[in-house]
Structure 1
Amino acid sequence: MPSLPVSLKHIRRMTDDTGIAEHALGIIPRRKEGYSTDDQARALWACLAWLDVAEGDEKEELHRLIDTYLSFMLWVQREDGHFHNNIAFDRTPEDETPSDDCLGRCIWASALTLTTLQDEDRKLAAKQMLEKALPLAEEMAFPRGRAYALAAVSLLLRSGCPFDFDLREAAERWADRLIGSYRTHARPETGWHWYEPALTYSNGVLPWGLLSAYEATGRPELLDVAEQSLRFLIRLSADEEGRIRPVGNRGWCTPGHRAMWDQQPIDVMKLMLAVSKAYEITRDKDYADVAKRCRNWFHGDNDAGMPIADVKEGAACDGLEENGLNRNKGAEATIAYLLTESLYHSLVGTT
């Protein structure tokens, strides 16, 4: 009998001996679209999140997938520490410039690997990648990459993991930079409590980064700004009845405009990530309620009134559009669903 409350069927289908494919047509992998390192880091995160719950064959399967994603990341990390993000199906790198987001995701996934796995031989790969990548986080220009790196050093700091890098100093400094972004762009007099002039994608990662830093440093300012921005994000991510409605990708959200359509599973997962961490820290049941509504969004409590998740396959549709579901079930959406279910599973055990 399966030990996991989710199916690994689709993530297994999407993964070959190179890595997880980026896109799908329906549930069929689109090999000509190749791979993204972003998705390997996300998939690694999802597998690590379920590892403690799995038993027997499912645990072995998760370890096999973990090995595949770690191997991919180790392969694409350049000598300067950056990770090449876009790889064609024939394993050739595509032209690109280094991405802060990709770097941050890989730093987070490597830190999570180092603090989650018990196997020292697997942890070697994560530690080597971190040693090369962490110094680059100092030069990050964009807040989402910073938030991932901040969460990573905060996790390493709290875990007591020995590391030849000043984790506390980095956590303090990178948190100050996120606070600086907030102070620059927030306009309390108009009700705009955000780190940028617009709400765009993966918004929940920003307060989550500060909440993670608060756990590691105990600085009250970090919790205060994280909660201000998170409450603002919650207000703009729900309809009048409280049903989750993430900011649409078709135009984003500014003080004068809010897009409704092209709602993305990744945005709901990132909100779930932030409110779950906020509940873990504060035990404010309002955060737990939002987390449950995020999970319900995947199961039909959304603007379409239709399930985003295919529970039997362990997959999720790529988005919610004006005319209904985008039924393609690519890596990003599927992993967002698996991570949301993992966060919900942990939440249920604490409420």
Structure 2
Amino acid sequence: MERRSVRFDHLIKMTDDAGILEHGFGTIPRRNEGYSTDDQARALWVCLEWIKHCNPENQQQLERLAEVYIAFLLWAQKADGHFHNNFAYDRSKEPEMPSDDCLGRCLWACAKAMTAAPAPSFAMVAESIFHKALPQVDHLRYPRGWAYSIAAFGELHRAGYDIDLTARIQDLAERLSALYRRNSAPGWSWFESEITYSNAVLPWGMLWAHEMLKRTDLLDIALNSLDFLIGLSQNEAGQIRPVGSQGWCRPGYRALWDQQPIDVMKLALASAKAYELTNMHKYKSTVKKCRDWFYGGNDLGVPMVNERDGSCCDGLSADGPNKNCGAEAVISYLMTEAIYEEWIQHEAQLVIIQ
């Protein structure tokens, strides 16, 4: 397993004293586009993953960034526990409807912080945010919010946290199962009538549910849907080709462009979880292909990442990479690398043990 040079310069550049800015013009932060709480949750997560893998200098920088991101979540949380998602550069709230996805991502990021915080005070803040947000889970209406919440509860369960979330896990898993049964059909093993964005988070959530509830029906749905998505997400050469955002995918139609880094990362995430639970090599192979996508293992054979500064292009179009490098893209690249780095270090430990 080959280790690549990973730099955090662009992540640092995109972050000011409030949080990570949402968009870039090339590699320059586009301040007039403001911030999203979604991105702060993602950025917090990726920092927590890399803190345990990097050298002391980078570790210190990432701990500082993580404090900025969790402070944003604390600020963005509303009195009822939900989160305001979109903010202008002047820190004013932009008009919006509550986002299930945002709530789920924040729960997941806080769960990770509760179990992997760089300091006890950090975990205390994450726990406060998590418990304040928890009642809002009962009002979630959309499947990605359900999946993130299941994963968050699973993370706490795995870490032995003294909080019983079994009933909520069962409820959310049943909702996802019912959605799958309603929409799946011969040749369409999926939760929805279309495949749109952040798709692999749905089987990922089901994998977490199976890990906690030990139900084979949940595992069957998780693996059937993931296998279907993997099959849709490869080109003729076997490289990763995520469903394009210019039209998405439905029975009889599949968009090729614009391919999004976040969909590649989520596919790597779900495949890594599937490999963890099943030890089936095909899922490990998919993770490697997802990583390769960022370095040129894609439809155009072009790198999406600048390894000199750690920036990542926002998408892949028919005429090449989108030269803008925003928050979602760099986080997706760094998270995919973190998944791979975890495996590199795990295999190195196995060699030492042997």
What TM-score bracket applies, with the shorter chain setting the length? over 0.9
**d(CA) in 1 for partners of 2:37 and 2:253?**
33
1:318 paired to 2:307: no
1:32 paired to 2:32: yes
Partner in structure 2 of residue 335 of structure 1? 331
Partner in structure 2 of residue 114 of structure 1? 114
State the Cα deviation string for residues 226-261 of structure 1 (Å, max 9, x = none): 000000000000012211000000000001100001
Which structure 1 residue ranges, 5 or more long, are not aligned?
Answer: none
**d(CA) in 2 for partners of 1:60 and 1:337?**
21
Contact 2:63 2:118 in 1 (8 A): no
Partner in structure 1 of residue 158 of structure 2? 158
Contact 1:143 1:178 in 2 (8 A): yes
SS in 2 for 1:46: helix
Q: Structure 1 segments of 4 or more deviating over 4 A?
A: none
In the TM superposition, residue 55 of structure 1 has moved relative to its aligned partner by 3.1
- TM-score norm. by structure 1 comes to 0.96
1:177 paired to 2:175: yes
**d(CA) in 2 for partners of 1:158 and 1:81?**
24
Bigger mean CA offset, 150-159 vs 3-12 = 3-12
**d(CA) in 2 for partners of 1:336 and 1:124?**
27
Contact 1:4 1:53 in 2 (8 A): no
**d(CA) in 1 for partners of 2:4 and 2:61?**
12
1:345 paired to 2:337: no
Aligned residues: 345
In the TM superposition, residue 348 of structure 1 has moved relative to its aligned partner by 3.2
State the Cα deviation string for residues 323-344 of structure 1 (Å, max 9, x = none): 1110100000000000000011
**d(CA) in 2 for partners of 1:212 and 1:311?**
33
In the TM superposition, residue 31 of structure 1 has moved relative to its aligned partner by 0.5
**d(CA) in 2 for partners of 1:53 and 1:288?**
20
State the Cα deviation string for residues 41-97 of structure 1 (Å, max 9, x = none): 000010001111123221111110000000000001000011100000011011111
**d(CA) in 2 for partners of 1:222 and 1:117?**
30
RMSD (CA atoms):
1.3
Partner in structure 2 of residue 303 of structure 1? 299
Partner in structure 1 of residue 216 of structure 2? 220
**d(CA) in 1 for partners of 2:27 and 2:86?**
21
**d(CA) in 2 for partners of 1:157 and 1:31?**
39
Instruction: Show the 5 A alignment for 1:1-351.
Output: 5-163=5-163, 166-187=164-185, 190-350=186-346
In the TM superposition, residue 212 of structure 1 has moved relative to its aligned partner by 1.2
Contact 1:77 1:129 in 2 (8 A): yes
**d(CA) in 2 for partners of 1:67 and 1:245?**
35
Q: Which amino acid aligns with 1:36?
A: S
Relative to structure 1, is the Cα distance of residues 223 and 341 closer, same or farther in structure 2, using a 3 angstrom cutoff? Answer: same
Identical-residue share of aligned pairs (%) = 51
**d(CA) in 2 for partners of 1:219 and 1:152?**
18
Bigger mean CA offset, 176-185 vs 112-121 = 112-121
In the TM superposition, residue 154 of structure 1 has moved relative to its aligned partner by 1.1
In the TM superposition, residue 118 of structure 1 has moved relative to its aligned partner by 4.9
- TM-score norm. by structure 2 comes to 0.95
Contact 1:156 1:167 in 2 (8 A): no
SS in 1 for 2:166: helix
In the TM superposition, residue 350 of structure 1 has moved relative to its aligned partner by 4.7
Q: Which amino acid aligns with 2:125?
A: A
